[in-house]
Structure 1
Amino acid sequence: MIKLNVTDETARLRAVILGTALSNGGVPKLEDAYDPKSLLHIKENTYPKEEDMVEEMNAVEEVFNKYGIQVFRPKLINDYNQIFARDIGFVIEDTFIKANILPDREQEIEAIEHVLTQIDEDKIIRFPEEAHIEGGDVMPHGDYIFVGVYRGPDYADYIIARTNMLAVEALQNQFPDKKVVSFNLRKSNTNPYENALHLDCCFQPVGEKYAILHKNGFLEEEEYQWLVDFFGAENVFEISSEEMFHMNSNIFSIAPDVVVSEKNFTRLNTWLRSKGITVEEVPYAEISKQEGLLRCSTLPLVRE
């Protein structure tokens, strides 16, 4: 049995689900693209090739193996994108919450059933259907749970609005001892430089006390400022819109002093090393073309 335990983003990782790029389904039709970045690469004929993405994900698995982390992979669905495991669920403390995701991605949850059967079924829950939520918007942080949302009345017009306030309420009810803090994110169906698909596209805690932030990802300046004050301005690494576009905030911690990062994130990786953090660099630029990176393709089950 797997004894779930996740209380933050950076504690030592022991078990994780890593998505798969095998049998990826090829280049989507324009009208089937879920996000503006995929849209851009489909139009420019630069959409990532399956063999390149498989290679990138293998590089991440090698890092996990090096650190003795137990790695689960989804069962294969033919011709289907199963890279972004973070979207389909998340763990807070000892509870696995199945995400209420876009309806045509339901199969992805079924594809990790072999993992879920190793978890106490009383510890697997799902929020009511109208409470939309995806794992990329949810970050446990000790006594807090940070949640990315979109509060606009035009929520339904945005395929990239994935988490709503009903889900924030459901989280607060499920974890009454935690302080659930929500952040209104900037959404654009068409401009990848102006779209924070999930909270982890513009923010992530790293190390013992640091955070990566992108100001323009937040619609309310005071909510962005709340995070700056929470971590302390001197501990915040502010990324540009170009760095946000390339997903610099979407690295993945496997310990307080070890992160997996994209090898081209020169400025960020240099800063992390200056803070005493070991950076395991991997190639992930092809996967990033689908508006997701390392955090998006991992679903931590056990940290300690």
Structure 2
Amino acid sequence: MVSAVFHSPLDAATGQVAAPVLARHVAPAAALAAQPVRKEPEERAPRDFGWVWLRVLPPVLGLALLVLVWELVALNSSNGFPAPAAVWQQAVTVFSDPFYSKGPNDQGVGWNVLSSLQRVALGFGLAAAVGIPAGFAIGRFGFLARMFNPLISLLRPVSPLAWLPIGLLVFKGANPAAIWTIFICSIWPMIINTAVGVQRVPSDYMNVARVLNLSEWKILTRILFPAVLPYMLTGVRLAVGTAWLVIVAAEMLTGGVGIGFWVWDEWNNLNVANIIIAIFVIGIVGLVLEFTLIRIATAFTFEEVKA
């Protein structure tokens, strides 16, 4: 900002230095600055609906492609493979009464899904109760890591169905054998991810804990748990997906009430439409479980956990 300084001619003639005559200029400037500035009304930009196309259009196109391929397979099939329209009509009939019960081996799809979820909850809960503390211990202590890493590497790739006969032999029942199979197959992702999270905790955190002479319990609750939580929740997500896959296969072999048994029973009845309905039910329930865990993980961590 440049200010103009004016001197009186009388002062120049007498040889005296004149004071700047600024009062009459400063007062109007201050008054102008004190006045509120009027903002011109901004023109509202038109709403951009591009995100709708980016989020809605691709899934719709994917489903449309699936239905198209399905229809082509049904038209060219000589074995009576049901078309999408026929499966839709059968689904309306099935879901009109999903909780009927006509005996132990003839129940609606709702009861079958709830029975499978109950087994998953028991097996998964036991796996979390054992796997998460084991992961903290293995990641925290190098001796335990060297001790259990070979066992984990040996047992983790074993097929889930290979554990089912062991469960039948030990527990003498189909239901506990299925829960055992879920437990043994769900525990590995939680152990591995939790241990990796503990091992990746910055060494500065542990150095501060040593300087402050913190107890092992405070190190676990104040340092390790908040830092390992994203890794632990990732292991939980992987474990729940594995548990839902395993229960379908286990119930096909053990029988009883469950979505896996329902698939096998409909195959014995040569009802392919109900098998396709069961496939979609299994996928939707798995998607709901995955989405629920993603929301929980996002709520309890500072970084966004994506699928």
Superposition TM-score tier, normalisation by shorter sequence: under 0.3
Bigger Rg over Cα: 2
Query: TM-score of the superposition, structure 2-length normalised?
Result: 0.21
Query: TM-score of the superposition, structure 1-length normalised?
Result: 0.21
More helix by percentage: 2
More strand by percentage: 1
Higher RCO (CA-CA < 8 Å; seq separation 6+): 1
